[in-house]
Structure 1
Amino acid sequence: MGDTGEAVVEDEDGVIRTRALTKRYRGGQLAVDGLDLTVPAGSVFGFLGPNGSGKTTTIRMLMGLITPTSGTARVLGRPMPRAVQSVLPHVGALIEGPALYGFLSGRENLTRYDAADPTADPRTRRVRVEAALERVGLAAAAAKKAKAYSLGMKQRLGLAAALLQPRRLLVLDEPTNGLDPQGMREIRGLVRELAAEGTTVFLSSHLLDEIEQVCTHAAVMAQGRLITQGTVADLAAGLRGRLVVTTPDQAEAARVLKERGVGDVVVADEGRVTADAPDGELAELNAALVEAGVRVRGFGVERASLEDAFMALTGEGFDVAG
């Protein structure tokens, strides 16, 4: 699998680019079906899909862990898995949870990881290890055995291992798994910092609000096929938002909205009535509610979320185990 002769260069079509990428397992199971994926340089790219959608299989092909049945995958401008030895030194990865030595401390685990990197200068190893521990908030727990780490601490240590060297691409599979809200916030901040420094981040997550907060681009997979990809803003922009009326007179408000031809009127909790965003003038609809004696305490259209887009595209709930 050598192919180390050519330099790793930026691909003008994306840091990650696949064309008709397909993986069929023994027995005929089609895990990934003709995937055309483009991850722009400098992006934070969210990779979404329900259970069994083919995300993990795709990531494993991109990292050279398994070979495609057909199609092509290029990472940092080089073909995978053929160029795995020249590409992986430029890639940090946390896939399906970190692989740790439980009997070693966090610091010793990172030292082992760094020593296994043929490109790492042993003279500066200690500095790299301490910097990585500090960056993920594990400096105080560095001497603790990894087997005593919580799930969230193990995730942090795995991320630290991916950050021992400057990386042009970071591939993260559920990076906030097991973290408390504060830890999730810190990791999201770290992802933003890395992107600002020029690292492209490819992020698989089941937390749709996380994708909306952190990612610039996203792709949605379902049943092994790519449903859509683009900027996070564009994915939700094609959907109409929901009209939300806050009022103590919910029944009367719902009646008026239906009479005015507004669709999918729902009497919700917390004194709200929601409905499809109307085509007409919102001010006229608000006036009609007031004229009918409805006490309107809030009125407006909430934009469609990435979750709304996901549901519209896949028609199913979200489960990240695929």
Structure 2
Amino acid sequence: MRESMSEPPATAPDGDDAEDGVIVTRALTKRYRGGQLAVDALDLTVPAGSVFGFLGPNGSGKTTTIRMLMGLIEPTSGTARVLGRPMPRGARAVLPRVGALIEGPALYGFLSGRDNLLRYDAADPTADPRTRRHRVAAALDRVGLTAAAGKKAKAYSLGMKQRLGLAAALLQPRKLLVLDEPTNGLDPQGMREIRTLVRELADDGTTVFVSSHLLDEIEQVCTHAAVMAQGRLITQGTVTDLAAGLRGRLVVTTPDTGDAARVLKENGVTDVVVAEDRVRGEAPEGELADLTAALVKAGVRVRGFGIERASLEDAFMALTGEGFDVAG
């Protein structure tokens, strides 16, 4: 697409992506009428080729951030660059290289799934009409909707609508894919398929930006993540590093759970929880061998003893001090 004269040329069309990040924001701020501060001085960097999880509790500013990145709303102040270009000013150059599924797909209920995609593809001025049906068939196959392609969209389940919205985002090769709750309404099998698809896209060189409330899903598929709370960025980095700073929970496997729980509490272990044949708790600082010695001395039959690796959910709770909610 030809750019307007006011749009400055990128120094290198894809070089900025690799060097600085596919998404880069600096002091990005959005304040609504009445003084509500939705996003507060956000400095975010999404590395090229990453699967980036965007996390935060209800009202943390995730969706507002995504809408600014896609040029749907303008920031109050600060800057956002996507694929090396400023947004929203560079939207005409950027958006053809971005696939997005935000706040659920917009579908024509009276059209079939296939006809919805044909309509989407026809609205893309960069799409070659000669290969339209091939692209639509490939996108339907990739999200597992070939068998339901002729069914009217109004008869689709929520999970099928999510798949169709994802297929629309994949009609053309994309440098960046932005997904807001991509597994919403999917059964476990569908969630696994979407995870696999996201990994395949990343392996093919597409950067995937995922906003989700399913921390376990994020941990399984994402390489990097950022945590938002009350409009501010709390932390960002690799998923491994976010949890690495936390000490995992102590786990003791034993048939003598009552005695084990008592001994652990007496030796400084807090938040002790008994579940079946396991006792878990927050281990105190110090030598863990002293705990095993105390258990053995008390006659507790220890069948397993160790530290569970801290999860992304543990890190989220430690950073925000609250549980997770879906909206953002």
Q: Same fold (TM over 0.5)?
A: yes
Asked if the contact 1:152–1:180 (Cα under 8 Å) also holds between the matched residues in 2, the reply is yes
SS of residue paired to 2:270:
coil
1:161 to partner: Cα distance = 0.3
Can you list the C-alpha shifts for 1:26-63, whole angstroms capped at 9, x where unaligned?
11111000000000000000000000000000000000
Can you list the C-alpha shifts for 1:159-188, whole angstroms capped at 9, x where unaligned?
000000000000000000000000000000
Can you list the C-alpha shifts for 1:229-256, whole angstroms capped at 9, x where unaligned?
0000000111111101122322321232
SS of residue paired to 2:66:
helix
| Identity percentage of aligned residues | 85
The aligned residue for residue 9 of structure 2 is 6
Unpaired stretches in structure 1, ≥5 consecutive residues: none
Taking the TM superposition and a 5 Å limit, the aligned residue runs for 1:76-87 are 76-87=83-94
The aligned residue for residue 112 of structure 1 is 119
Moved more, 249-258 or 101-110: 249-258
Can you list the C-alpha shifts for 1:247-271, whole angstroms capped at 9, x where unaligned?
23223212322333x3314132213
1:290 to partner: Cα distance = 1.6
The aligned residue for residue 315 of structure 1 is 321
The aligned residue for residue 198 of structure 2 is 191
Paired residue type of 1:17: V
Can you list the C-alpha shifts for 1:118-137, whole angstroms capped at 9, x where unaligned?
11111111110000000000
Unpaired stretches in structure 2, ≥5 consecutive residues: none
1:105 to partner: Cα distance = 0.5
1:5 to partner: Cα distance = 6.3
Q: Distance in 1 between matches of 2:312 and 2:133?
A: 42
SS of residue paired to 2:275:
coil
Paired residue type of 2:9: E
Asked if the contact 1:243–1:278 (Cα under 8 Å) also holds between the matched residues in 2, the reply is no
Paired residue type of 1:148: A
Evaluate the alpha carbon distance shift between residue 57 and residue 151 of structure 1 in structure 2; reply closer, same or farther with a 3 A threshold. Answer: same
SS of residue paired to 1:166:
coil
Determine if the alignment matches structure 1 residue 213 to structure 2 residue 216: no
The aligned residue for residue 146 of structure 1 is 153
Q: Distance in 2 between matches of 1:291 and 1:177?
A: 51
Q: Distance in 2 between matches of 1:108 and 1:251?
A: 62
The correspondence for 1:274, drawn from 277, 280, 290, is: 280
1:280 to partner: Cα distance = 3.1
SS of residue paired to 1:167:
coil
Asked if the contact 1:168–1:200 (Cα under 8 Å) also holds between the matched residues in 2, the reply is yes
Q: Distance in 2 between matches of 1:191 and 1:164?
A: 15
1:297 to partner: Cα distance = 2.2
Paired residue type of 2:28: L
Normalised by the length of structure 1, the TM-score is: 0.96
The correspondence for 1:19, drawn from 23, 26, 32, is: 26
Paired residue type of 1:243: L
1:284 to partner: Cα distance = 3.8
Asked if the contact 1:245–1:274 (Cα under 8 Å) also holds between the matched residues in 2, the reply is yes
Moved more, 5-14 or 41-50: 5-14
Evaluate the alpha carbon distance shift between residue 288 and residue 263 of structure 1 in structure 2; reply closer, same or farther with a 3 A threshold. Answer: closer
Normalised by the length of structure 2, the TM-score is: 0.95
Q: Distance in 1 between matches of 2:93 and 2:60?
A: 29
Moved more, 241-250 or 187-196: 241-250
Q: Distance in 1 between matches of 2:310 and 2:200?
A: 27
Q: Distance in 1 between matches of 2:271 and 2:229?
A: 29
1:283 to partner: Cα distance = 3.5
